[in-house]
Amino acid sequence: MTRQSPVLMQVLCDITDHRQEQGKRHSLSAILALSIAAMLCGYRSYSAIAEWGRNYGKDFLEALGFTSESAPCAATFFNVYRRLNKEELENKLGNWAEGLMQLTREESQNVEQICIDGKTLRGSRKQGAPAAHLLSALGQRLGLTLGQVAVDEKTNEIGVIVKLLKELMLKGKVVTCDALLTQREVAHTVTDRGGEYVMIVKGNQPTLLADISDIFKDRECFSVEVSATIDEGHGRIEERSLSVTQALTDYSDWPGMQQVFEIKRQVVMKKTGKHRAETVYGITSLRPEKAGAKTLLDIVRGHWSIENKSHWVRDVTFDEDRSRVRVGNIPQVMTTLRNTAIGLMRLMGESNIAAACRTFAAKPWTALAVIGVPARIK
C-alpha cells in the first residue's frame, strides 16, 4: 500500500466548522481525519472510532492535527457529526473524488461510467432517522463515490436525482441507472450537461417499453448488431446477449435517444439443471460509433459495480445496515466518511476491502499516510 492522496487532508481542512469557539478543544479537520483513518482500519461506529483514537499516543494525535494530548471522546464525535453540514461534506469529498478520476483517466479510455443507485440505511430507518435512504453516484472505474443525496421518506429517488446530477461533472461521461429512474427529466438533465445515458426500460414507461419490444419482434426488418458472453462460476452457467438498433430513433421523442437494445439472459444451475431466462430492454443516447453492442453490454453489466464495490462492502465489512445512529445528520455523515475510506482503498487497487482494513489495522501509521499525513511507519 504505497499510493497516497495528499489532497484529501487539504479537503478536510476546507470544510466549514460551525461550532462556537468557546469550549472547542479539537479541530474539525483532525476529527474527520481520525474518523477516516479509523474506518480504513475497519472501525465502524463513532464510539469505536473514539476508542481507536486513544490507542496510539500523543505523536499519533499530533500528526492528525490534534493539539490536545487526549483524543476526543465518543460524545464529541456524536455532536460534531450531528451538526456537520452534510451537503458541504458531500460536495467537497465528491469534488475530491472527481479530481482523482480526472487525474487517473487515460486518453485511450473509451467510456467513463457513473452508476446511480439508492440504498436504505435499514438500522437507522428502523430507529426513525430522517432521510435514511441515500441516492449515490459511483465512478465505476475507480469505485469512488462522486456524490450522494438524501431521499426524504415523503418522496422517492425520482424527486432528488436531478439535484444529484446537477452536482456532478457529466461532460464526457455515461450515466447508468435502474428502471425507476428512467425518466424524461433525467435524460434531459444528463444530455443538457454534456453527458450520455444508458437506461433500462420497464413497466413504469409502458409506451416506450411496448415500442422497443415491438421493434425486436420484427428484428429481421432492421439492422441489428449483437454481442454475447458466457460466464461459468458459482455453480452456474450464465449466457447474455445484447442486440442493438437505431430503428426507433426517428419515431420516438424520448430526449436524446439514439439506440434501443434488448438483453437476453439465461442462467443454468449446474447441479440441478434448473433454468431461468429473462429479457430486458433499454435505451441510450450513445451513437453507434461510440457504443456498439459489446460496449453497451459491458456498460449494463458495469452498472452493478455500485452494489459490489460500495453497497455490499458498507453492509458486510462496515455493518451499516445494523447501525443504530439516528440523530440529525449522523447517518449520512458516517456513510460519506465510509464511502471515502472505501474509495481510498479502491484507488490503491484493493479488491478485498476487509483484508485491506486488517492490513491498515496492523500498521495504523500507514492509514494516516494514505489520507495525506506524512508517513511515519511505527
Residue range 218-233, pLDDT digits in tens: 877 778 898 988 888 7
Q: Any idea which of 200-209, 322-331, 352-361 has the lowest mean pLDDT?
A: 322-331
Query: What number is the average pLDDT over the span 305-315?
Result: 77
The answer to whether 133 and 147 have CB atoms below 8 angstroms apart is: no
In this predicted model, what pLDDT tens digit does every residue of 30-70 receive, in sequence order? 999 999 999 999 998 999 999 999 999 999 999 999 998 89
**Does 314 score more than 50 pLDDT?**
yes
**What is the band of 120 on the pLDDT scale with cuts at 50, 70, 90?**
confident
pLDDT band at 181 (very low <50, low <70, confident <90, very high): very high
Give dist(CA 297, CA 290) in Å, integer: 13
Record the pTM: 0.86
Domains of the chain: 195-294 (2.20.130.10)
Q: How far apart are CA 198 and CA 296, in angstroms?
A: 8
Q: What share of the chain is helix, strand, coil (3-state, %, to 5)?
A: 45, 20, 35
Question: Are 310 and 146 within 8 A, CB to CB?
Answer: no
pLDDT of 279-304, one tens digit each? 999 999 999 999 999 999 999 999 98
For the residues 20-37, what does the mean pLDDT come to?
Answer: 92
Model confidence pLDDT, tens digit, residues 242-251: 999 999 998 8
Q: CA quadruple 250, 251, 254, 257: dihedral positive or negative?
A: negative
In the block, residue with C-alpha cell 482494513: 357
Q: What is the mean pLDDT of the chain?
A: 88
Residues 328-350, mean pLDDT to the nearest whole number:
90
Q: Where are the beta strands (DSSP E) in 174-224?
A: 174-177, 196-201
Give the pLDDT confidence of 1-20 residue by residue, as tens digits. Answer: 434 444 799 999 999 998 88
